[in-house]
Protein backbone atom coordinates (compact mmCIF):
# COMPACT_ATOMS: atom_id res chain seq x y z
CA UNK A 1 0.00 0.00 0.00
CA UNK A 2 1.17 3.53 -0.78
CA UNK A 3 0.20 6.69 1.06
CA UNK A 4 0.80 10.39 0.68
CA UNK A 5 1.37 12.50 3.80
CA UNK A 6 1.12 16.27 3.39
CA UNK A 7 2.78 17.32 6.68
CA UNK A 8 5.45 16.15 9.08
CA UNK A 9 3.81 14.95 12.30
CA UNK A 10 5.03 15.19 15.90
CA UNK A 11 6.59 12.16 17.60
CA UNK A 12 7.55 9.02 15.73
CA UNK A 13 4.24 8.56 14.00
CA UNK A 14 5.57 8.90 10.45
CA UNK A 15 8.12 6.15 11.18
CA UNK A 16 5.35 4.02 12.61
CA UNK A 17 3.34 4.60 9.44
CA UNK A 18 6.39 3.70 7.29
CA UNK A 19 6.63 0.32 9.01
CA UNK A 20 3.15 -0.46 7.72
CA UNK A 21 2.89 1.24 4.33
CA UNK A 22 5.08 3.02 1.77
CA UNK A 23 5.09 6.74 2.62
CA UNK A 24 5.67 9.77 0.39
CA UNK A 25 5.99 12.87 2.57
CA UNK A 26 5.79 16.62 1.92
CA UNK A 27 8.67 17.81 4.11
CA UNK A 28 7.67 21.45 4.66
CA UNK A 29 5.39 23.03 7.27
CA UNK A 30 3.66 25.17 4.68
CA UNK A 31 1.03 23.36 2.60
CA UNK A 32 2.04 21.62 -0.63
CA UNK A 33 0.79 23.21 -3.86
CA UNK A 34 -2.29 21.53 -5.28
CA UNK A 35 -0.28 20.39 -8.33
CA UNK A 36 2.10 18.50 -6.03
CA UNK A 37 -0.83 16.64 -4.48
CA UNK A 38 -2.32 15.86 -7.90
CA UNK A 39 1.02 14.61 -9.26
CA UNK A 40 1.75 12.48 -6.21
CA UNK A 41 -1.65 11.04 -5.37
CA UNK A 42 -2.10 9.16 -8.68
CA UNK A 43 -0.79 5.79 -7.45
CA UNK A 44 -1.71 6.16 -3.76
CA UNK A 45 -4.15 4.09 -1.71
CA UNK A 46 -4.42 6.65 1.08
CA UNK A 47 -3.67 10.25 1.98
CA UNK A 48 -3.03 11.84 5.37
CA UNK A 49 -3.75 15.56 5.33
CA UNK A 50 -4.25 18.54 7.61
CA UNK A 51 -6.86 21.30 7.43
CA UNK A 52 -4.75 23.42 5.06
CA UNK A 53 -5.08 20.89 2.23
CA UNK A 54 -8.33 21.27 0.33
CA UNK A 55 -9.36 17.90 -1.09
CA UNK A 56 -11.76 18.65 -3.93
CA UNK A 57 -13.21 16.77 -6.90
CA UNK A 58 -10.16 17.45 -9.05
CA UNK A 59 -7.80 15.85 -6.54
CA UNK A 60 -10.12 12.92 -5.90
CA UNK A 61 -10.50 12.37 -9.66
CA UNK A 62 -6.74 12.23 -10.07
CA UNK A 63 -6.49 9.41 -7.51
CA UNK A 64 -8.13 6.32 -9.04
CA UNK A 65 -6.79 3.98 -6.32
CA UNK A 66 -7.61 6.19 -3.34
CA UNK A 67 -9.45 4.34 -0.56
CA UNK A 68 -8.87 6.48 2.53
CA UNK A 69 -8.56 10.18 3.37
CA UNK A 70 -7.29 10.59 6.93
CA UNK A 71 -7.40 14.16 8.20
CA UNK A 72 -5.32 15.31 11.16
CA UNK A 73 -8.15 17.54 12.43
CA UNK A 74 -11.61 17.46 13.91
CA UNK A 75 -12.99 19.70 11.16
CA UNK A 76 -13.51 18.23 7.70
CA UNK A 77 -14.90 21.22 5.82
CA UNK A 78 -11.73 21.15 3.66
CA UNK A 79 -12.79 17.83 2.14
CA UNK A 80 -15.50 17.28 -0.47
CA UNK A 81 -17.02 14.59 1.72
CA UNK A 82 -20.05 13.97 -0.47
CA UNK A 83 -17.98 13.40 -3.59
CA UNK A 84 -15.41 11.24 -1.79
CA UNK A 85 -18.15 9.06 -0.34
CA UNK A 86 -19.74 8.66 -3.75
CA UNK A 87 -16.40 7.21 -4.82
CA UNK A 88 -16.52 4.87 -1.80
CA UNK A 89 -13.58 6.57 -0.12
CA UNK A 90 -13.45 6.31 3.69
CA UNK A 91 -12.83 9.59 5.52
CA UNK A 92 -11.35 9.55 9.00
CA UNK A 93 -10.65 12.37 11.47
CA UNK A 94 -9.43 13.11 15.01
CA UNK A 95 -12.28 14.27 17.27
CA UNK A 96 -12.37 13.85 21.09
CA UNK A 97 -8.61 14.02 21.70
CA UNK A 98 -8.58 17.75 21.04
CA UNK A 99 -11.78 18.65 22.89
CA UNK A 100 -10.25 19.65 26.24
CA UNK A 101 -7.29 21.51 24.71
CA UNK A 102 -9.65 23.52 22.51
CA UNK A 103 -12.01 24.27 25.41
CA UNK A 104 -9.02 25.44 27.49
CA UNK A 105 -8.01 27.84 24.71
CA UNK A 106 -11.58 29.11 24.32
CA UNK A 107 -11.80 29.83 28.03
CA UNK A 108 -8.39 31.45 27.96
CA UNK A 109 -9.49 33.71 25.09
CA UNK A 110 -12.69 34.57 26.91
CA UNK A 111 -10.84 35.66 30.04
CA UNK A 112 -8.05 37.34 28.06
CA UNK A 113 -10.42 39.60 26.15
CA UNK A 114 -12.76 40.40 29.04
CA UNK A 115 -9.94 41.12 31.55
CA UNK A 116 -7.75 42.86 28.97
CA UNK A 117 -4.79 40.56 29.64
CA UNK A 118 -3.11 41.01 26.26
CA UNK A 119 -3.71 44.76 26.30
CA UNK A 120 -2.16 44.99 29.77
CA UNK A 121 0.87 42.96 28.70
CA UNK A 122 1.32 45.20 25.67
CA UNK A 123 1.02 48.34 27.79
CA UNK A 124 3.85 47.21 30.08
CA UNK A 125 6.11 46.10 27.22
CA UNK A 126 5.59 49.41 25.44
CA UNK A 127 6.76 51.25 28.55
CA UNK A 128 3.36 52.82 29.13
CA UNK A 129 2.71 51.68 32.73
CA UNK A 130 3.08 55.10 34.34
CA UNK A 131 0.78 55.09 37.40
CA UNK A 132 1.04 52.06 39.64
CA UNK A 133 -2.64 51.52 40.47
CA UNK A 134 -5.86 53.49 40.60
CA UNK A 135 -9.51 52.50 40.88
CA UNK A 136 -10.50 53.11 37.27
CA UNK A 137 -7.32 51.81 35.61
CA UNK A 138 -7.86 49.35 32.72
CA UNK A 139 -11.20 48.05 33.86
CA UNK A 140 -12.47 44.95 32.16
CA UNK A 141 -15.67 42.95 32.42
CA UNK A 142 -16.43 40.36 35.09
CA UNK A 143 -16.67 36.74 33.91
CA UNK A 144 -17.99 35.17 37.12
CA UNK A 145 -21.77 34.76 37.15
CA UNK A 146 -22.32 36.11 33.64
CA UNK A 147 -24.37 34.53 30.86
CA UNK A 148 -22.44 32.27 28.52
CA UNK A 149 -24.09 31.58 25.18
CA UNK A 150 -22.99 28.55 23.21
CA UNK A 151 -23.71 28.31 19.52
CA UNK A 152 -23.62 24.54 19.07
CA UNK A 153 -23.73 21.76 21.65
CA UNK A 154 -21.13 19.27 20.50
CA UNK A 155 -18.13 17.93 22.38
CA UNK A 156 -16.25 21.23 22.52
CA UNK A 157 -19.32 23.20 23.65
CA UNK A 158 -19.86 20.70 26.47
CA UNK A 159 -16.25 21.00 27.56
CA UNK A 160 -16.55 24.82 27.61
CA UNK A 161 -19.78 24.44 29.59
CA UNK A 162 -18.03 22.34 32.27
CA UNK A 163 -15.41 25.05 32.69
CA UNK A 164 -18.10 27.78 32.80
CA UNK A 165 -19.85 26.01 35.68
CA UNK A 166 -16.75 26.63 37.79
CA UNK A 167 -17.34 30.33 37.14
CA UNK A 168 -21.02 30.03 38.15
CA UNK A 169 -22.08 31.17 34.70
CA UNK A 170 -25.65 31.04 33.49
CA UNK A 171 -25.49 28.89 30.36
CA UNK A 172 -27.77 29.16 27.33
CA UNK A 173 -27.30 27.51 23.95
CA UNK A 174 -28.72 27.01 20.50
CA UNK A 175 -28.16 24.02 18.26
CA UNK A 176 -30.11 22.11 15.62
CA UNK A 177 -32.09 20.33 18.33
CA UNK A 178 -32.18 20.52 22.16
CA UNK A 179 -29.80 18.22 24.03
CA UNK A 180 -30.04 16.60 27.43
CA UNK A 181 -27.60 19.01 29.09
CA UNK A 182 -27.66 21.27 32.13
CA UNK A 183 -28.13 24.46 30.10
CA UNK A 184 -31.08 26.34 28.66
CA UNK A 185 -31.99 25.84 25.00
CA UNK A 186 -32.98 29.15 23.39
CA UNK A 187 -33.73 30.28 19.84
CA UNK A 188 -30.95 31.83 17.79
CA UNK A 189 -32.05 35.44 18.28
CA UNK A 190 -32.33 34.98 22.06
CA UNK A 191 -28.87 33.46 22.12
CA UNK A 192 -27.43 36.55 20.46
CA UNK A 193 -29.40 39.05 22.52
CA UNK A 194 -28.91 37.52 25.98
CA UNK A 195 -25.29 36.32 25.94
CA UNK A 196 -22.59 38.26 27.77
CA UNK A 197 -20.07 35.91 26.17
CA UNK A 198 -21.02 34.19 22.95
CA UNK A 199 -18.84 31.21 22.10
CA UNK A 200 -19.00 29.76 18.60
CA UNK A 201 -18.84 25.97 18.81
CA UNK A 202 -20.29 24.74 15.52
CA UNK A 203 -18.52 23.17 12.59
CA UNK A 204 -18.46 24.91 9.25
CA UNK A 205 -21.01 23.73 6.70
CA UNK A 206 -23.55 25.29 4.36
CA UNK A 207 -25.96 26.05 7.22
CA UNK A 208 -23.35 27.67 9.50
CA UNK A 209 -21.50 29.73 6.86
CA UNK A 210 -21.79 33.41 7.96
CA UNK A 211 -24.39 32.45 10.56
CA UNK A 212 -22.91 35.33 12.59
CA UNK A 213 -23.77 38.26 10.33
CA UNK A 214 -24.60 41.92 10.64
CA UNK A 215 -28.20 41.27 11.63
CA UNK A 216 -27.20 38.88 14.43
CA UNK A 217 -24.37 41.08 15.69
CA UNK A 218 -26.84 43.95 16.02
CA UNK A 219 -28.87 41.84 18.45
CA UNK A 220 -25.92 41.48 20.82
CA UNK A 221 -25.45 43.54 23.98
CA UNK A 222 -23.06 46.47 23.73
CA UNK A 223 -21.25 44.96 26.72
CA UNK A 224 -20.85 41.52 25.19
CA UNK A 225 -17.95 39.55 23.74
CA UNK A 226 -17.71 37.11 20.83
CA UNK A 227 -15.27 34.20 20.99
CA UNK A 228 -14.49 31.96 18.01
CA UNK A 229 -12.11 29.01 17.79
CA UNK A 230 -14.14 26.91 15.34
CA UNK A 231 -13.81 28.07 11.73
CA UNK A 232 -13.46 31.64 10.49
CA UNK A 233 -16.19 31.61 7.83
CA UNK A 234 -18.86 30.93 10.48
CA UNK A 235 -18.57 34.69 11.08
CA UNK A 236 -18.96 37.36 8.41
CA UNK A 237 -15.65 38.96 9.33
CA UNK A 238 -16.42 42.30 7.66
CA UNK A 239 -19.63 42.55 9.67
CA UNK A 240 -17.69 41.75 12.85
CA UNK A 241 -15.11 44.44 12.05
CA UNK A 242 -17.94 46.93 11.64
CA UNK A 243 -19.53 45.80 14.92
CA UNK A 244 -16.23 46.23 16.80
CA UNK A 245 -15.52 49.62 15.24
CA UNK A 246 -18.99 50.95 15.92
CA UNK A 247 -19.28 49.50 19.41
CA UNK A 248 -22.17 47.11 18.84
CA UNK A 249 -20.22 44.67 21.04
CA UNK A 250 -17.37 45.29 23.50
CA UNK A 251 -14.81 42.89 22.12
CA UNK A 252 -13.90 39.67 20.38
CA UNK A 253 -11.36 36.89 20.78
CA UNK A 254 -10.55 35.02 17.62
CA UNK A 255 -8.44 31.96 16.93
CA UNK A 256 -9.74 31.42 13.38
CA UNK A 257 -10.35 33.73 10.44
CA UNK A 258 -11.95 33.82 7.01
CA UNK A 259 -8.45 33.87 5.50
CA UNK A 260 -5.53 32.23 7.28
CA UNK A 261 -2.94 33.44 7.88
CA UNK A 262 -4.88 36.63 8.74
CA UNK A 263 -3.93 39.25 6.12
CA UNK A 264 -1.40 41.67 7.62
CA UNK A 265 -3.61 44.63 6.69
CA UNK A 266 -6.68 43.29 8.51
CA UNK A 267 -8.37 46.04 10.56
CA UNK A 268 -8.61 43.51 13.42
CA UNK A 269 -4.87 43.84 14.02
CA UNK A 270 -5.06 47.45 15.18
CA UNK A 271 -8.04 46.95 17.50
CA UNK A 272 -7.37 46.96 21.24
CA UNK A 273 -10.63 45.23 22.10
CA UNK A 274 -9.67 42.13 20.13
CA UNK A 275 -7.49 39.20 21.17
CA UNK A 276 -6.00 37.22 18.29
CA UNK A 277 -4.35 33.81 18.22
CA UNK A 278 -3.14 31.95 15.11
CA UNK A 279 -5.42 28.87 14.98
CA UNK A 280 -4.07 27.27 18.17
CA UNK A 281 -7.18 25.43 19.39
CA UNK A 282 -5.59 21.99 19.52
CA UNK A 283 -2.02 23.22 19.79
CA UNK A 284 -0.70 21.45 22.89
CA UNK A 285 2.17 18.97 22.92
CA UNK A 286 -0.08 16.27 24.37
CA UNK A 287 -3.01 16.78 21.99
CA UNK A 288 -1.00 17.12 18.78
CA UNK A 289 0.79 13.87 19.60
CA UNK A 290 -2.49 12.04 20.22
CA UNK A 291 -3.91 13.48 16.98
CA UNK A 292 -0.90 12.07 15.10
CA UNK A 293 -1.39 8.64 16.65
CA UNK A 294 -5.08 8.61 15.73
CA UNK A 295 -4.64 10.00 12.21
CA UNK A 296 -1.96 7.38 11.47
CA UNK A 297 -3.86 4.49 13.05
CA UNK A 298 -7.10 5.56 11.33
CA UNK A 299 -5.28 5.40 8.00
CA UNK A 300 -3.68 2.00 8.60
CA UNK A 301 -6.87 0.43 9.95
CA UNK A 302 -9.04 1.73 7.11
CA UNK A 303 -6.50 0.59 4.48
CA UNK A 304 -6.55 -2.90 6.02
CA UNK A 305 -10.32 -2.92 5.75
CA UNK A 306 -10.70 -2.73 9.51
CA UNK A 307 -12.81 -0.23 11.43
CA UNK A 308 -10.94 3.07 11.93
CA UNK A 309 -11.03 4.74 15.35
CA UNK A 310 -13.04 7.73 14.03
CA UNK A 311 -14.80 7.78 10.69
CA UNK A 312 -16.70 10.72 9.20
CA UNK A 313 -20.23 9.40 8.69
Nearest to ligand GLV of 60, 105 (CB atom): 105
C-beta of 105 vs 217, nearer to ligand GLV: 105
Q: Is there binding between residue 74 and ligand GLV (CB under 6 A)?
A: yes
Verify whether residue 231 is a known catalytic residue.
yes
250 is catalytic: no
Residue closer to ligand GLV by CB (options 190, 284) is: 284
Of 78, 158, 250, 279, which residue is the catalytic one? 279
Least spacing, CB of residue 138 vs ligand GLV, in Å: 12
Beta strand segments in the chain, E: 2-5, 22-25, 46-49, 68-71, 90-92, 147-151, 170-174, 184-185, 197-200, 225-228, 251-254, 274-276
Q: Which of 119, 258, 260, 311 is catalytic?
A: 260
Q: Does 73 bind ligand GLV (CB under 6 A)?
A: yes
Query: Cα–Cα distance between 175 and 245 in angstroms, integer?
Result: 29
From the CB of residue 313, how many other CB atoms can be counted at a distance below 10 Å?
Answer: 6
Can you give the C-alpha Rg of the chain in angstroms? 21
**Interacting residues of 45 by C-beta distance below 8 A, sequence separation 6+:** 1, 2, 3, 21, 65, 66, 67, 68, 303
Among positions 46, 75, 108, 233, the unique one binding ligand GLV when judged by CB under 6 A: 75
Q: Minimal distance in Å, beta carbon 134 to ligand GLV?
A: 11
Dihedral, 118, 152, 165, 274 alpha carbons, nearest 10: 10
Task: Name the minimum Å distance from CB 194 to ligand GLV.
Answer: 28
The mark string for 8-47 relative to ligand GLV (x by CB under 6 A, - otherwise) is: ----------------------------------------
Cis ω for the linkage preceding 120 (within 30 of 0):
no
Alpha-carbon gap, residue 228 to 238, rounded angstroms: 15
Asked if residues 291 and 282 have their Cβ atoms less than 8 Å apart, the reply is yes
What gap in Å lies between CA 53 and CA 59, rounded to an integer? 10
| HSE of 297, CA atoms in CB hemisphere, 13 A | 11
Return the number of the residue (132 or 270) whose C-beta is nearest ligand GLV.
132
Task: Name the segment binding ligand GLV (CB under 6 A); options: 32-40, 72-80, 154-162, 180-188.
Answer: 72-80
Residues 254-283, interacting with ligand GLV (CB under 6 A)? 281-282
Q: Does the annotation mark 179 as catalytic?
A: no
Q: Looking only at residues 94 through 153 of this chain, which bind ligand GLV when binding is defined by CB under 6 A?
A: 98
User: CA–CA separation, 271 vs 250, rounded Å?
Assistant: 11
Stretch that binds ligand GLV, among 25-33, 71-79, 117-125, 185-193 (CB under 6 A): 71-79
Question: Per CB under 6 A, does 51 bind ligand GLV?
Answer: yes
Q: How near is the Cβ of 282 to ligand GLV at its closest, in Å?
A: 5
Query: Could you tell me which of 247, 251, 252, 200 has the C-alpha nearest to residue 228?
Result: 200
**Active-site residue numbers?**
231, 260, 279
Q: Which residues bind ligand GLV (CB under 6 A)?
A: 51, 73-75, 98, 281-282
Amino acid sequence: MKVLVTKKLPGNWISYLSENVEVALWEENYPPPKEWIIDNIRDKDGILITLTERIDKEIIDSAPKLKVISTYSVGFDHIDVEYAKKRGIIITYTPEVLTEATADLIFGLLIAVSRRIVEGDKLIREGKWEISWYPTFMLGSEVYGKTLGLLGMGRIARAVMRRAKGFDMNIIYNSRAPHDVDAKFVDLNTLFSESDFLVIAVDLNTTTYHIVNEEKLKLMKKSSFLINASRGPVIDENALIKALKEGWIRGAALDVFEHEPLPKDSPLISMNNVVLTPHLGSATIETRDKMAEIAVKNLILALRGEKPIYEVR
